[in-house]
A = this chain, B = another copy of it.
Amino acid sequence: MAVTIRDVASAAGVSVSTVSRAFTAPDQVQARTRQRILDAAAKLGYSPNPAARSLRGGGTGTLGLIVPDIANPFFPPIVKAMQARARRLGHTVLVADSDEREADELETIAAVSRRVDGLVLWASTLSEDRLRGIAEQLPVVLVNRHVPGIPEVRISLSAGIAQAAEHLRAYGHRRCVFVNASREELRRGKSVHESFEALDLSLAELGPYEPRFETGVHAATLVAAHGATAVIAHNDLVALGVLHQMAKLGIRVPQDVSVIGIDDTLLASVSTPGLTTIRIDPEEIAVRAGDLLIETIGARAGGAGSSGRTSGAGGGTGFVEIGSRLIPRASTGPAPTH
């Protein structure tokens, strides 16, 4: 049914080996012959069978990306960027959703692991041992999770948080509230508290809660009780919940209270008022994570062949840190003068 390399070979009057070479190692075949093969392939509409290719041992040409929840607006831009990047490098991306549950995550990984050359695991909930086990089977890059010996992309919110503190301080705020739902990337580096206290800003912490819209709704009513004039929320979604409830309570944003989100998702840019937020660049994450994974795959493939070459960069573990920055919009403003 489908046209195979053999069809192309006989159409071009060469052997299958030569056709294979014409595609995978163009400089090993004479220009004239190659052209003849390419013409024949084009006329027949030939494209190599990836299954056969990967069976032979050439890898699948596919990168796996496992995220906690595709429906979380933070992830789609990352998926998109990683696809674009991978495509340019001749790879495909297989995205899967672990549904934030450990059992599902394991099942998901099992389902895709044989179809990919490597895996980007986002905020995995798996134990260190299990992750090490997976990383033994195939190249893995962790995002927002640290396991010694496994390459990692870390998102640092320090810069963004520090800028947020400066921003609020400059607007004259003194008492702030942080609506927390335990972000892994906040636990590392300078804490939110440190950043705020360094600027003589008091910071009350609410939670930890679930990172949902309703959490923001709930938290909004507590803010007044704290006498705070600024709220920084776990993410944009929670911040929108705060905005929503503030409006319902007749509290004006930003005149009475300022609100800051995290992630700079689409949500933040289309809310009313526009949400001041801490941006994490999805494109940067996608590109760095993708490149790191490809690099790891390459190292594994190359390093496995030579024996005993454990020294140097061969067994080295990649590490990349992604920064963040404040995007001021309309949800923050001068603190009320009283």
A87 to B97, CA, bound (A): 11
- Bound-state Cα–Cα, A223 to B71, Å: 33
One of A30-38, A156-164, A237-245, A288-296 at the interface = A237-245
Q: Which of A173-181, A269-277, A316-324 lies at the interface with chain B?
A: A269-277
Within 8 A of B (CB), among A239-255: 240-241, 243-244, 247
Name the residue of chain B whose CB is nearest to the CB of A107.
B87
How many copies of this chain sit in the oligomeric assembly? Answer: 2
Pick out which of these stretches binds chain B: A50-58, A145-153, A192-200. Answer: A50-58
State whether A79 touches B70 (Cβ < 8 A): yes
Q: Does A51 lie within 8 Å of B55, measured CB to CB? A: yes
Q: Is A80 an interface residue (CB 8 A)?
A: yes
Contacts of A62 in B (CB 8 A): 115
Chain B residue numbers with a CB within 8 Å of A84 are 97, 99
Chain B residue numbers with a CB within 8 Å of A267 are 266-267, 270
* Selected contact of A112 from candidates B55, B92, B271, CB within 8 Å: B92
User: Roughly how many angstroms separate A94 CA and B50 CA in the complex, as a whole number?
Assistant: 14
A225 on interface, CB distance cutoff 8 Å: no
* Residue A25 interfacial (CB < 8 Å): no
Q: Does A303 contact B (CB under 8 A)?
A: no
Scan A12-52; emit 1 where CB is below 8 A from any B CB, else 0: 00000000000000000000000000000000000111111
Query: Are B60 and A71 interface neighbours, CB within 8 A?
Result: no
> Contact between B272 and A247 (Cβ–Cβ < 8 Å)?
yes
Is A122's beta carbon under 8 Å from chain B?
Answer: no
**Residue pair B92, A115 in contact (C-beta under 8 Å):** yes
Q: How far is the CA of A46 from the CA of B50 in the complex (A)?
A: 22
Q: Of the candidates B49, B83, B110, B272, which one forms a contact with A97 in the assembled complex, judged by CB atoms under 8 Å apart?
A: B83
Residues from chain B with Cβ under 8 Å of A107 in the complex? 87
Across-interface contacts of A52 in B (CB, < 8 A): 51, 55
Interface size on A, as a range, is: 35 or more
Measured in the bound complex, the distance between the Cα atoms of B112 and A114 in whole Å is: 17
Which residues of chain B have C-beta atoms less than 8 A from A243's C-beta?
272
Which residues of the partner chain B approach A244 to less than 8 Å between Cβ atoms? 270-272, 274
Pairwise interchain contact A50-B114, C-beta atoms closer than 8 A: yes
Alpha-carbon distance A198/B156, docked complex (angstroms): 57
- Which residues of chain B are within 8 angstroms of A71 by Cβ–Cβ distance? 76-77, 80, 266
* A69: chain B residues within 8 A (beta carbon): 80
Nearest residue, chain B, Cβ from A245: B272
**Chain A stretch 199-220: residues in CB contact (< 8 A) with chain B:** 213
Chain B residue numbers with a CB within 8 Å of A328 are none
Select from chain B the residue with minimum beta-carbon distance to A248: B272
Q: Determine how close the nearest CB of chain B comes to the CB of A275; give it in whole angstroms.
A: 11
A135 to chain B minimum Cβ distance, whole angstroms, is 15
Q: Does A96 contact B (CB under 8 A)?
A: yes
A73 within 8 A of B: yes
The reply to whether B70 and A80 contact each other, CB–CB distance below 8 Å, is: yes
* A112–B83 CA distance with the chains assembled, in angstroms: 12
